[in-house]
Chain A
């Protein structure tokens, strides 16, 4: 796969309207994005539609990419994941979720730092795996299913055969613990 410098260069050229650079960017990254989309959307036609939407957005918005949005590949994968999530909500209809309303969500324990205070990008990613290991099994499973399959709380509850409230707290406690661990 092309390295970070190559992809940044291609993104910059794409932002300037260079179609050839855009084609190279597509060639270098489409299979990774498509793999993500297939995994989340399960159907090839949906994944192909999402891939198109995704690259159309990249073509139109390449100039909005900034290094603070992560490495180019991270940014592209993020664009693809959000697109997949949106499509899933439209195409995989489910029982309408009750509005979160004024329900008091679980929150993070101690937060005095802002993200800017923290280490530069890259640090922490290596720790993710360790931190995932540190979660309780249900928490880890909930977070991973949500990330990889795009499951909603409701779908998680069905899949894990647990009450909705329990599943929500697995997700939130999982995220909160993940963050505590990543900050250490």
Chain B
């Protein structure tokens, strides 16, 4: 086939992406596009256009064993360079032993994976080592309009703690007014406490307050000592999302 003919190239690229270009023709096309940028661009064109159909695939969570096996394969691979670097036999042996161990483990997981679907009790034989990091805090940077000052607020629901670090000074009459921090939930705002106009500090989270999922924080200007009603009474200076890294 004449791979230089433009119309033909375009159709081959389209059928390659669709998948109907098969067998030897497919392998040949793959080799060809590796050294032909124009052909690759043609392939990208179709990849990106047909990706519009990807919404038709319904997400399905894979079993944890897939990650476990993958994790093994990755870590088995990272052992390999140890063979080559040091010359000492001790190192070589260690590398060989650890590679063998990793491969054995990978093989075990592999076999596990290829067994038919199991009832729950059976899956206990796989050790899925997922590191459990300490829960991440919610973090928000609160910057009122028309002010250089801002607050970094970190909320640790697991510790029941709120940390505040102020940059600059927010200009209010602290004898007459207070800044109150709120978390805005589906059922309305809940007070988290008073924000300092300057400086850093910590305060406990109000008892009984739960935070889950995404959160929005807000700051309102209240009479000295905070809102008398438990809900914001003064102007809201800002609202910002609090992000919790996964």
Interface of B is mostly: helix
Select from chain B the residue with minimum beta-carbon distance to A84: B19
Q: How far is the CB of A33 from chain B (nearest CB, A)?
A: 8
Alpha-carbon separation in the docked complex, A32 to B58 (Å): 7
* Contact across chains for A125 and B66 when beta carbons are under 8 A apart: no
Q: How many residues of B contact A (CB 8 A)?
A: 51
* Contact across chains for A179 and B41 when beta carbons are under 8 A apart: no
* Contact across chains for B41 and A70 when beta carbons are under 8 A apart: no
Query: Is A74's beta carbon under 8 Å from chain B?
Result: yes
* Contact across chains for B74 and A114 when beta carbons are under 8 A apart: no
Alpha-carbon separation in the docked complex, A14 to B49 (Å): 26
Residues of B within 8 A of A159 (CB): none
Name the residue among A23, A118, A126 with the largest chain B CB count within 10 angstroms: A23
B41-80 vs A, Cβ < 8 Å mask (1 yes, 0 no): 1101101111111101111111101110110011001000
* Contact across chains for A148 and B56 when beta carbons are under 8 A apart: yes
Interface of A is mostly: helix
Name the residue among B6, B45, B62 with the largest chain A CB count within 10 angstroms: B62
Interface size range of chain A in the complex? 35 or more
Alpha-carbon separation in the docked complex, A178 to B46 (Å): 10
* Contact across chains for B53 and A107 when beta carbons are under 8 A apart: no
Q: Among A38, A44, A128, A143, point to the contact of B117 (Cβ < 8 A).
A: A44
Stretch of B9-17, B83-91, B155-163, B202-210 that contacts chain A: B9-17
Q: Among B48, B58, B59, B60, point to the contact of A121 (Cβ < 8 A).
A: B48
Q: How far is the CB of A101 from chain B (nearest CB, A)?
A: 8
* Chain B residues close to A by CB (< 8 Å): 1, 5-8, 10-12, 14-15, 18-20, 22-25, 38, 41-42, 44-45, 47-54, 56-63, 65-67, 69-70, 73-74, 77, 113-114, 116-117, 246
